[in-house]
């Protein structure tokens, strides 16, 4: 491929939009510079009133012009967003997309492919499926498994649970008189509760063991008492602590009771690629559906969730939309729109595919292992510090710790000071009723030694 010349980039002015060539160039240049420049840990939210004043009126009948709109974005709007990929942004679940993936997001956008149907997106969907096949291999599922990319874990969980509920309805001959239930522990992600509300099903709480895990025996007790449970949601990496439920025992109880097992690996599913923790996921090969968010710990940009079913035809039976204007759609081919609660979709799996194809899966393993090693090193540093207390050994890459003697207000104040100074983003959370500090590592560049040094400010 040769680089385009200026002439190649020049296009005839559009009868309505006019000549946008210069604008295309400055927008693409802005993006190219953003991909290579260092993140700015000081970029942060501002009140809407301040943004309104700083930006001025941008949507007007005549338009302010692309150059001016890009200036406003560059100087006002983008600095009022957080750098998710800053190596010392360790709050919530940050992100660390490869440059290859981000660059390919631009390519994906420019191609503007309709990824709902094979007929319009075949090549791109094929490439997405290659990336899914890698994940399916990590799961140890049969090659007949499959799925699609959706916007995030919340929508992936909802689509999977919708499939589970409709499958139960078919298999058990209708809705139970008292309605359906799904079972999970208190450590399941909040999006499971959102999905339950959307599906109008009740959530049955399964008590966790002393490690915070969902276990087979506790699940068995719940399923014996609750015959209307249609699905169990297990976590492969809880958000708060990075815990992996006892998947092997849970899967075997689910099979015994004929209940769908959905595994939420939105954050922690990336650990499947890491040999040092792979054994913790044993049993996942028996689950019915699974999600992982490559925009969390598989180095892809937002928004990207891989939703995978052991038997994709069950999802198709639930999610395929039918209408006269869709009559001619070929149903014999792989249509991602039939596998989740969506119709139009961008081919958001392509940046992951490109990055995987570019770097190879071995480097993905190295990158995930790097975060796990960082978490372990930071945990060891905290345990040895003398002024901090490690709450528990990390199972994946989330570290919880305390500063004995600190009040909730002191935690908040410290966290706020660090954020304002741009040194580290570390926000408090609640663990077993106590306020503690939490660090989530997903960026292979984060230096554990520097993190430990930064935590000296807690002395």
Ligand X SMILES: Cc1ncc(COP(=O)(O)O)c(C=O)c1O
Positive or negative CA dihedral for 73, 79, 85, 91?
negative
**Helix (H), strand (E) at residue 438:** strand 434-440
Residue 210 · residue 368 · CB < 8 Å: no
Q: Rounded distance, CA 298 to CA 268, Å?
A: 10
Residues 203-242 that bind ligand X (CB under 6 A): 235, 239
Residue 293 · residue 267 · CB < 8 Å: yes
Reduced to 3 states, what is the DSSP secondary structure of residue 277?
coil
Cβ proximity to ligand X: between 236 and 286 the closer is 236
293 binds ligand X (CB under 6 A): yes
Q: Are strands 289-292 and 260-264 parallel, antiparallel or unpaired?
A: parallel
Residues 138-177 that bind ligand X (CB under 6 A): 152-154
Q: Which two tokens stand for residue 379?
A: 């945990």
Q: Mask 56-95, x = binds ligand X (CB under 6 A)?
A: -------------------------------------x--
Shortest gap between Cβ of 41 and ligand X (angstroms)? 21
Residue 436 · residue 88 · CB < 8 Å: no
Residues in binding contact with ligand X, number by CB under 6 A: 13
Q: Which stretch binds ligand X (CB under 6 A): 98-106, 259-267, 343-351, 448-456?
A: 259-267
Residue ranges with strand state E in 51-180? 146-150
Cβ proximity to ligand X: between 189 and 438 the closer is 189
Shortest gap between Cβ of 458 and ligand X (angstroms)? 25
328-331 long-range contacts (CB < 8 A, ≥24 apart) are 329/117, 329/119, 330/117, 330/118, 330/119
Q: Which of 102, 139, 259, 266 binds ligand X (CB under 6 A)?
A: 266
96 binds ligand X (CB under 6 A): no
Residues 295-314 that bind ligand X (CB under 6 A): 305
Cβ proximity to ligand X: between 117 and 138 the closer is 138
Shortest gap between Cβ of 93 and ligand X (angstroms)? 5
DSSP string, 19-52: --HHHHHHHHHHHHHHHHSPP-TT-----HHHHH
Q: Which of 191, 289, 335, 374 binds ligand X (CB under 6 A)?
A: 191
Shortest gap between Cβ of 206 and ligand X (angstroms)? 16
Shortest gap between Cβ of 387 and ligand X (angstroms)? 29
Q: Which of 189, 310, 345, 348 binds ligand X (CB under 6 A)?
A: 189
What is the distance between the terminal CA atoms of the chain, rounded to a whole angstrom?
56
Q: Which stretch binds ligand X (CB under 6 A): 102-110, 118-126, 263-271, 406-414?
A: 263-271
Contact set with ligand X (CB under 6 A)? 93, 152-154, 189, 191, 235, 239, 264, 266-267, 293, 305
């Amino acid at each position: 491929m040769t680089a385009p010349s200026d002439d190649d980039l020049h296009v005839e002015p559009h009868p309505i939009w006019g000549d946008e060539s210069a604008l295309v160039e400055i927008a693409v240049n802005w993006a190219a510079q953003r991909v290579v420049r260092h993140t700015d840990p000081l970029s942060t939210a501002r009140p809407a009133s301040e943004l309104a004043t700083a930006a001025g009126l941008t949507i007007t009948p005549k338009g302010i012009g692309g150059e001016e709109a890009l200036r406003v974005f560059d100087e006002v709007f983008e600095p009022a967003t957080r750098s998710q990929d800053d190596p010392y942004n360790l709050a919530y679940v940050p992100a660390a997309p490869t440059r290859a993936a981000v660059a390919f997001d631009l390519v994906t956008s420019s191609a503007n492919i309709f990824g709902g149907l094979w007929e319009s997106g075949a090549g791109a969907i094929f490439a997405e499926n290659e990336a899914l096949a890698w994940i399916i291999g990590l799961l140890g599922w049969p090659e007949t498994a499959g799925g699609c990319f959706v916007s995030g874990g919340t929508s992936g969980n909802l689509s999977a649970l919708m499939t589970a509920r409709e499958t139960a309805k078919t298999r058990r001959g209708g809705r139970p008189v008292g309605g359906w239930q799904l079972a999970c522990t208190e450590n399941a992600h909040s999006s499971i509760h959102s999905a339950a509300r959307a599906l109008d099903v009740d959530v049955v709480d399964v008590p966790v063991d002393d490690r915070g895990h969902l276990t087979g025996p506790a699940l068995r007790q719940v399923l014996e008492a609750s015959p209307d449970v249609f699905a169990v949601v297990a976590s492969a990496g809880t958000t708060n602590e990075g815990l992996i439920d006892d998947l092997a025992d849970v899967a075997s109880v689910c099979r015994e009771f004929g209940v769908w097992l959905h595994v939420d690996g939105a954050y922690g599913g990336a650990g499947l690629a890491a040999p040092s923790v792979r054994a913790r996921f044993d049993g996942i090969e028996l689950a019915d559906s699974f999600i992982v968010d490559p925009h969390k710990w598989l180095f892809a940009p937002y928004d990207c969730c891989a939703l995978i079913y052991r038997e994709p035809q069950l999802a198709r039976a639930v999610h395929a939309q039918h209408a006269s204007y869709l009559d001619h759609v070929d149903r014999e081919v792989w249509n991602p729109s039939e596998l989740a609660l969506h119709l139009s979709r961008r081919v958001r799996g392509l940046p992951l595919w490109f990055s995987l194809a570019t770097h190879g899966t071995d480097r993905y393993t190295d990158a995930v292992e790097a975060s796990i090693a960082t978490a372990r090193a930071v945990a060891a540093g905290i345990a040895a510090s003398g002024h901090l207390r490690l709450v528990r050994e990390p199972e994946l890459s989330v570290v919880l710790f305390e500063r004995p003697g600190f009040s909730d207000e002191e935690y908040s104040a410290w966290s706020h000071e660090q954020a304002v100074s741009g040194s580290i983003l570390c926000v408090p959370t609640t663990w077993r009723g106590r306020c503690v500090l939490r660090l989530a590592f997903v960026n292979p560049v984060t230096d554990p030694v520097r993190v430990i040094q930064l935590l000296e400010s807690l002395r």
